[in-house]
Structure formats: structure tokens, C-alpha cells
């Protein structure tokens, strides 16, 4: 029955009854008033490749901001095994996430300076604030003018159509609430709890308001070159996602890795940046989590620059991708070894 079967049909009425029984505020009228919309993806050009993301209220543009900052460095000359490479990547993430905390919100409620956030000029200013020998400890966002609860799936067909899709009920596999029809029969799905990602600061761009979408983390991605599709990909895992997207792109574009190797390479996850939900800002530089594939000497070098570094088994996300060979049109699938997933073709 399409979307109306969920938002206006018997399912909506059953959910309304369930919420009344448990004392929750959601009503049939809230479901019926819901509107979905098509949005235009946004992109940045990274060394000749166009990387595409969904605009806010999601966090996809953080990946694009990271790439804009990194474009000013010769990463290939630095080498993926150098502390310089890891240092500038971590510092680029910090600056993109400072903007993420301040500006990313529902564009229907907040004026988001999207053009400036994605500008190469802004990236140049952010890059100028990076000290190659010293970690940044506190957020310093520039002013502007004017885990296991997510799935990612990508699929491609014989005609060249590629789909990049991600879905998540959010923390704890969602709210833990499963509606029933009042007669003992469950509806078979759990409600999400992404409202937790609102800020309760009324002055914040991401402040809670009726009918408003919260900031959210789920971001499917594409990469194209000269207007032709190359890569449909995603990296599950909360705040890891834009960090992971940028790492995948750099692995492929700067270091020439294939679609599977780009996901297999050791990653970092920086934690501790200021969140869009509000709260205390970063004051100690956060923590850089690294995988065992990163040499101890490199970790020690990062520590000397002021980074707090620890080896950890996660969270480094869950990567899945399809690469389309630009010459032959043949598809190459890749699947993450860090969590459940598979690549399949027929």
C-alpha cells in the first residue's frame, strides 16, 4: 500500500492505540502529517573525483569538509605509514566536526551556510590553523559569513543503476518499543530513538522543536568522475561514518587501493569532538583510537605531538561498496571484515 499504509492506514491507527496505552505522546495525526522529501545531494571535487553526500540534517558534508582540508596536502608523498599523514587527517576531522557541532541541523528550521562550509576557501583557512607538530586540544570553529544498530546496503543492476542506502534505528537498536494491535499481536518492528540527537539548548541550530528533524548520522555516499558513476559506498558507525568515508576515498584516490583493500586498511577513529546534541565542548583534544595494523612507532610519534592515542578493537565502522570499472562497466563488490556483511553477484 505504499507509504500511506504506514502513515495513514491501519498500521498508523494501531500505533496510535499502542502509544495511548503506554502513555506516549505520539498520535495518529502526527503520522498522517509526516512528509518525506527528495533532496539534492551535495558534492566536493577531490583531486578530480566528485564525492557525493546527503546534505544536513545529516552529517555527510563532514566527509566532504575533511577531504577539502586534506586536498591541500601531498598525502601520497607523506605516505600512509607516516605520522604526518595520520596527524593531518585527525586534525582535519577535528575542524570538520567543530562545524558539524555548530551548524548541522534541519534546514527547514535553521539557516545552514552550506556553500561556505563546503568552500575551498574555508578549507584553506582551516588548514592554515593546523600545526604539523602539535595536536589541537580545543574546538576552534571558524565563524561563517552570513555500532551494531545500522545496516548499509548497495546494489547495482545490469543497466548501470546503482543504489546507496543506509538505515538505522539508532542507539540500542532503537527505543526498545515494539507496538502491538491491542489484541496481543505485535506489528513486527521497533521504533527508532533518533530524537535523542536533538540539542535541548533553545539557541542551538539543532534545538528540539515540533515537526523538526534532529541531526542524524546515517550517510550513504557515491563517487563519480567526469559525470560517470564509479563507487557506491557506506561506512556504518555513528560519528565514524564521515571519518570512514574520507579514509576510503583517500585510500583509493591518493594511494591507489582497490575497492576491497581500501576497506581492509587499518583505520583511525577520533572521539571527543563537540557533539551536535550540545554539552561540554572538546578541551583535551579527544582520543585517537587506532587498529593493530598501525605500527607502535607511529602511535608514539602521534603522542609526541600531543594526541591521546590508544589501540582498540573498535569502533571503526562497517564498510560495504560497489566499484564500477570505468572502462569495462564490470562491477567489483567489497565487504567489511570488521562486522557482518557480504558481497554477492549473479
Strand, helix or coil for residue 44: strand
Containing 271, the helix (H) or strand (E) segment is strand 268-271
Q: Are 47 and 71 in contact (CB under 8 A)?
A: yes
Strand, helix or coil for residue 75: helix
Report the alpha-carbon distance of residue 245 to residue 234 in Å, rounded: 7
Report the alpha-carbon distance of residue 278 to residue 143 in Å, rounded: 18
**Is residue 186 annotated as part of the catalytic site, yes or no?**
no
Q: Are 49 and 250 in contact (CB under 8 A)?
A: no
For 96, 186, 224, 231, the CA distances from 62, given in Å and listed in that order, are 5, 39, 18, 19
Q: Annotate 64-86 with b (16+ C-beta within 10 A) or e (fewer).
A: bbbbbbbbbbebeebebeebbbb
Q: Are 170 and 178 in contact (CB under 8 A)?
A: no
DSSP state of 37: -
Q: Which of 44, 136, 150, 217 is flagged as catalytic?
A: 150
Residue 153 phi, psi (nearest 5): -145, 135
Cα–Cα nearest to 55, from 278, 216, 276: 216
Report the alpha-carbon distance of residue 235 to residue 302 in Å, rounded: 25
- Residue partners of 297: CB distance under 8 A and separation at least 6: none
Q: Are 59 and 101 in contact (CB under 8 A)?
A: no
The residues assigned a catalytic role are 150
Amino acid at each position: 500500500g505504499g507509504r500511506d499504509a504506514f502513515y495513514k492506514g491501519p498500521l498508523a491507527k494501531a500505533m496510535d492505540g499502542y502509544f495511548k496505552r503506554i502513555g506516549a505522546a505520539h498520535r495518529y495525526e502526527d503520522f498522517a502529517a509526516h512528509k518525506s522529501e527528495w533532496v539534492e545531494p551535495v558534492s566536493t571535487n577531490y583531486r578530480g573525483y566528485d564525492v557525493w553526500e546527503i546534505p544536513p540534517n545529516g552529517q555527510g558534508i563532514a566527509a566532504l569538509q575533511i577531504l577539502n582540508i586534506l586536498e591541500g596536502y601531498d598525502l601520497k608523498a607523506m605516505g600512509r605509514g607516516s605520522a604526518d599523514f595520520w596527524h593531518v587527517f585527525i586534525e582535519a576531522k577535528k575542524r570538520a566536526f567543530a562545524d558539524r557541532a555548530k551548524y548541522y541541523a534541519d534546514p527547514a528550521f535553521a539557516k545552514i551556510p552550506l556553500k561556505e562550509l563546503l568552500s575551498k576557501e574555508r578549507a584553506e583557512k582551516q588548514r592554515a590553523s593546523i600545526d604539523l607538530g602539535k595536536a589541537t586540544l580545543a574546538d576552534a570553529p571558524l565563524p561563517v559569513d552570513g555500532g551494531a544498530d545500522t545496516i548499509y546496503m548497495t546494489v547495482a543492476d545490469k543497466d548501470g543503476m546503482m543504489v546507496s542506502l543506509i538505515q538505522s534505528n539508532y542507539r540500542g537498536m532503537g527505543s526498545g518499543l515494539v507496538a502491538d494491535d491491542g489484541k496481543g499481536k505485535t506489528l513486527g518492528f521497533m521504533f527508532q530513538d533518533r530524537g535523542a540527537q536533538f540539542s535541548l539548548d533553545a539557541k542551538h541550530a539543532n534545538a528540539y522543536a515540533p515537526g523538526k528533524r534532529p541531526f542524524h548520522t546515517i550517510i550513504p555516499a557515491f563517487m563519480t568522475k567526469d559525470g560517470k558513476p564509479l563507487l557506491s559506498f557506506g561506512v556504518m558507525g555513528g560519528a565514524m561514518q564521515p571519518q570512514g568515508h574520507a579514509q576510503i576515498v583517500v585510500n583509493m584516490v591518493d594511494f591507489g587501493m582497490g575497492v576491497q583493500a581500501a576497506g581492509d586498511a587499518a583505520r583511525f577513529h577520533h572521539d571527543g569532538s563537540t557533539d551536535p546534541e550540545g554539552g561540554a565542548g572538546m578541551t583535551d583534544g579527544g582520543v585517537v583510537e587506532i587498529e593493530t595494523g598501525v605500527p607502535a612507532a607511529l602511535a608514539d610519534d602521534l603522542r609526541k605531538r600531543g594526541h591521546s592515542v590508544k589501540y582498540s578493537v573498535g569502533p571503526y565502522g562497517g564498510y560495504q561498496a560497489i566499484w564500477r570499472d570505468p572502462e569495462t562497466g564490470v562491477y567489483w563488490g567489497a565487504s567489511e571484515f570488521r562486522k557482518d556483511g557480504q558481497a554477492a553477484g549473479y
